[in-house]
């Protein structure tokens, strides 16, 4: 039996494939490579010494997707594929509804037809409203702030309805906080296109000299040093969280929602200092206006994932910084031979 990973060549997908292969799962990937590169999958095979089966298919193409289910014995699906740039989703909401929502409908329809009813879905902490207290638990009120977040929330609700209609489905919804870092080999990592939106890839691009300085978005928030606080999690810890969720999804028939974070927050300046100390580099920065839509503090209560999945993030901020830098240094142009251009970032 194999695990189908949609979007398996992407940043979180590729790291999850490594953990799946290390746990002896057979892996089949469906990816349209619109915001990822097949080289990532060669590297996954190089790191693990195992082979994976890859289909270059768009999930919107149900007929081609059916072929994957006909040719393989799929036991469960981990669904990463989707667009993820908040700004782009505001400019082009229909694209996000098509690429995220319709493709998930297409995937679930084919799963149902082939009687594959175990799914782990890649959601985001972006579905939570402004936290009135911290840390954020899974039952916090939800609030949508942009079309990207809306697609995540709509898919979560859709999956709930699917389960209500047929309780032989088993569904895990994983709400990620801020994944950063890279595999310790330095062979795979976050391959940002153009100017990164997110903090860590921006820092590494300043450190390597590609960008002049980090723009710190605001220093008057109600936090220890005035800069925004987030729950950064090492991408390999996050990847392991998927393996833990997958096991539970296969064993049980229920809908589970899990925060994947470390449970502690770091400010922008704390991350910057940690990066400088982990790499012995100096990263110039200037303070700018706050970024519209940003919140001051955001961090997870990850107790449920520990209690129910037996999973806990282990890696330190220092390891996150060291690994992000190793990836950047070894791959100054990411995966180099890009197949297609896209504006999505994370």
Q: Tell me the catalytic residues.
A: 148
Is 346 a residue that touches ligand UFG (CB under 6 A)? Answer: yes
Closest approach of Cβ 99 to ligand UFG, in Å? 15
Give the interface size with ligand UFG as a residue count (CB under 6 A): 22
- Whole-number Å distance between alpha carbons of 32 and 270: 37
Is 298 a residue that touches ligand UFG (CB under 6 A)? Answer: yes
- Integer CA distances (angstroms), 209 to 143, 201, 203, 214, in order: 38, 12, 10, 11
Q: With respect to ligand UFG, which residue has the nearer C-beta, 19 or 231?
A: 231
Q: With respect to ligand UFG, which residue has the nearer C-beta, 41 or 300?
A: 300
The structure tokens listed for 273 are: 């200092």
**Contacting ligand UFG (CB under 6 A), which of 11, 80, 140, 202?**
202
Residue with nearest beta carbon to ligand UFG:
228
Q: Are 249 and 172 a contacting pair, CB within 8 Å?
A: yes
CA neighbor of 298 nearest in space, from 275, 266, 323, 326: 266
- Whole-number Å distance between alpha carbons of 177 and 82: 17
**Contacting ligand UFG (CB under 6 A), which of 143, 213, 294, 318?**
294
Closest approach of Cβ 32 to ligand UFG, in Å? 20
Q: Label the pairing between strands 214-217 and 285-288.
A: parallel
Is 327 a residue that touches ligand UFG (CB under 6 A)? Answer: no
Q: With respect to ligand UFG, which residue has the nearer C-beta, 81 or 162?
A: 81
> By CB under 6 A, which span of 4-12, 23-31, 165-173, 192-200 interacts with ligand UFG?
192-200
Q: Is 33 left (phi over 0), alpha (psi -120 to 50) or beta?
A: left
Instruction: Draw the binding track, 149-178, toward ligand UFG (x: CB under 6 A; -: no contact).
Output: ----------------------------xx
3-class DSSP state of 181: coil
Which residues have CB under 8 Å from 11's CB, separation 6+?
Answer: 36, 179, 189, 190, 191, 235, 346
Q: With respect to ligand UFG, which residue has the nearer C-beta, 86 or 274?
A: 86
Is 123 a residue that touches ligand UFG (CB under 6 A)? Answer: no
Is 199 a residue that touches ligand UFG (CB under 6 A)? Answer: yes
Is 219 a residue that touches ligand UFG (CB under 6 A)? Answer: no
Q: Are 171 and 121 a contacting pair, CB within 8 Å?
A: yes
- Whole-number Å distance between alpha carbons of 208 and 8: 27
- Whole-number Å distance between alpha carbons of 23 and 27: 11
**Contacting ligand UFG (CB under 6 A), which of 29, 68, 125, 274?**
125
Dihedral sign for Cα 194, 195, 199, 204, please: positive
Residues paired with residue 233 on neighbouring β-strands, in sequence order: 179
**Contacting ligand UFG (CB under 6 A), which of 107, 268, 274, 317?**
268
CA neighbor of 283 nearest in space, from 325, 224, 315, 227: 325
* End-to-end Cα separation, the chain, in angstroms: 30
**Contacting ligand UFG (CB under 6 A), which of 32, 126, 249, 328?**
126
DSSP string, 140-153: SPB---SHHHHHHH
> By CB under 6 A, which span of 56-64, 99-107, 111-119, 210-218 interacts with ligand UFG?
210-218
Is 7 a residue that touches ligand UFG (CB under 6 A)? Answer: no
Instruction: Draw the binding track, 56-95, toward ligand UFG (x: CB under 6 A; -: no contact).
Output: ----------------------------x-x---------
Query: What residue ranges bind ligand UFG (CB under 6 A)?
Result: 84, 86, 124-126, 177-178, 197-199, 202, 214-217, 228, 230, 268, 291, 294, 298, 346
């Amino acid at each position: 039996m194999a695990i189908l990973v949609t979007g398996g060549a992407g940043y979180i997908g590729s790291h999850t494939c490594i953990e799946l292969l290390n746990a002896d799962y057979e892996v089949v990937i469906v990816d349209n490579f619109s915001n990822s590169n097949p080289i990532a999958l060669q590297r996954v095979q190089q790191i693990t010494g195992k082979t994976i089966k890859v289909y270059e298919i768009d999930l919107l193409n149900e007929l081609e997707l059916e072929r994957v289910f006909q040719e393989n014995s799929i036991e469960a699906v981990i669904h990463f594929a989707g667009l993820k740039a908040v700004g782009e989703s505001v400019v082009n909401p229909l694209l996000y509804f098509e690429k995220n929502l319709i493709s998930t409908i297409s995937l679930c329809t084919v799963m149902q037809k082939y009687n594959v009813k175990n799914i782990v879905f890649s959601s985001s902490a972006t579905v939570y409203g402004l936290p009135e207290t911290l840390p954020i638990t899974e039952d916090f009120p939800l609030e949508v702030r942009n079309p990207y977040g809306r697609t995540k929330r709509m898919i979560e609700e859709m999956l709930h309805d699917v389960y209500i209609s047929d309780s032989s489905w088993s569904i895990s919804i994983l709400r990620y906080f801020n994944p950063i870092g890279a595999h310790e080999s330095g062979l795979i990592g976050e391959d940002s296109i153009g100017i990164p939106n997110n903090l860590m890839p921006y820092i590494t691009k300043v450190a390597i000299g590609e960008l002049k300085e980090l723009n710190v978005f605001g220093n008057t928030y109600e936090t220890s040093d005035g800069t925004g606080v987030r729950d950064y999690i090492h991408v390999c810890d996050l990847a392991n969280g998927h393996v833990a969720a997958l096991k539970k999804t296969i064993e049980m028939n229920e809908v589970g929602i899990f925060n994947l974070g470390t449970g502690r927050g770091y400010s922008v300046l704390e991350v910057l200092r940690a990066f400088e100390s982990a790499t012995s580099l100096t990263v110039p920065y200037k303070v700018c206006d706050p970024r519209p839509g940003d919140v001051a503090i955001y961090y997870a209560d990850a107790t449920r994932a520990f209690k129910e999945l037996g999973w806990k993030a282990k890696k330190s901020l220092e390891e996150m910084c060291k690994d992000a830098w190793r990836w950047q240094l070894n791959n100054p142009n990411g995966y180099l031979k890009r197949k297609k251009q896209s504006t999505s970032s994370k």
